[in-house]
Amino acid sequence: MVKPTDSELEILHVLWVNGPSTVRQIHEELSRNRDIGYTTALKLMQIMYDKGLLTRTEDARSHVYTAAVSEEDTQRSLVDRFVETTFRGSASKLVMQVLGHHKASREELDEIKNLLKQLDQTSPDKQ
């Protein structure tokens, strides 16, 4: 599984949210958040195409790019790597860290509780 860099992740995120886009569209989105030249965005996307992170088709005179990797898969592999380097493989330590310090909203906490319930149904304990 290819590991996208931070900049590549920005671009993937736009594609995951907005769907297939041209360099111009991506550049416009990225420009909302930070200063970035058009050819910089282009170059990044060409590199991502070479790496296999994006596919593309010719539409009239410009290319239309599509994410070649799913958000789910990408996040999973990034999390795996992160858990490895930062928490020496302990996923639960990561969760504890996040729950302890990020003030998750009421809804988010409820979501997490529901997920835990589901996990319990799969292999319930006595509590």
Partner DNA sequence: TTGCATTTACGAAAAGCTTCGTATATGTTT
Partner DNA sequence: AAACATATACGAAGCTTTTCGTAAATGCAA
Task: Provide the binding-site residues for a copy of itself, judged by CB under 8 A.
Answer: 6, 9, 13, 75-76, 78-79, 82-83, 85-88, 90-92, 94-102, 104-106, 108-113, 115-116, 119-120, 123, 125, 127
Partner in contact with 31, chosen from a copy of itself, DNA, none, beta carbon below 5 to 8 Å by kind: none
Instruction: Map the footprint of DNA across residues 40-59, applying CB under 7 A.
Output: 40, 42-44, 46-47
The reply to whether 14 sits near DNA by the rule CB under 7 A is: no
Number of residues that make up the chain = 127
Closest among 33, 7, 24 to 65, alpha carbons compared: 24
Nearest distance from C-beta of residue 8 to DNA, angstroms: 6
Closest among 5, 1, 7 to 42, alpha carbons compared: 7
**Separation of alpha carbons 81 and 16, rounded Å:** 21
Q: How many CB atoms neighbour CB 15 within 10 A?
A: 24
Return the DSSP state at 119. H
Nearest distance from C-beta of residue 116 to a copy of itself, angstroms: 6
The reply to whether 13 sits near DNA by the rule CB under 7 A is: no
